[in-house]
Amino acid sequence: MLEPENETRPWADQLALDDASYRTQLAYLLQRSAFYREKLAAAGFTSAEAAGGLADIAQLPLTEKGEIRATCTPGNPIGAHLCATPSEIVRIYSTSGTTGAPSYVPLTAGDLDNWVTASARSYAASGVAPGQRIVSTYNAGPF
């Protein structure tokens, strides 16, 4: 385990933390993304409170890649769904574009930290310990 205190947390405690994080994420999304504000409003969710908690996640509309691609322009290749300001972006991953134009995945410092932690947790769960060397087929980025 990477962080036993986190990975062995009682389920009820973890669910409470996840629900709080979900609600915070929804509020952030609605505050910072016109794309998702419009999408969620069209589905009847005009506020984070209206969307409820994690138990209500199935009520939210899905986002398809085509919707995001439709908002990409030469002047804004990332698309209108972006929730971070340019100064918050620390890294941008790109797909190869084999099925069309490349897709860009910008990351903030927090996103990058979450990706590294999730990757480390995955390796630890697979039995990889500090100091060991492996050959990995992990993607270079979170897509």
pLDDT tens per residue across span 34-63: 999 999 999 999 999 999 999 999 999 999
Paired residues of 108 in beta bridges: 89
Q: Report the C-alpha gap between 83 and 97 in whole angstroms.
A: 23
Using left for φ > 0, alpha for ψ between -120 and 50, and beta otherwise, residue 106 falls in beta
Q: Is the pLDDT of residue 28 over 80?
A: yes
Pick the range with the lowest mean pLDDT from 22-36, 55-69, 124-138: 124-138
Sign of CA dihedral 45, 32, 26, 50: negative
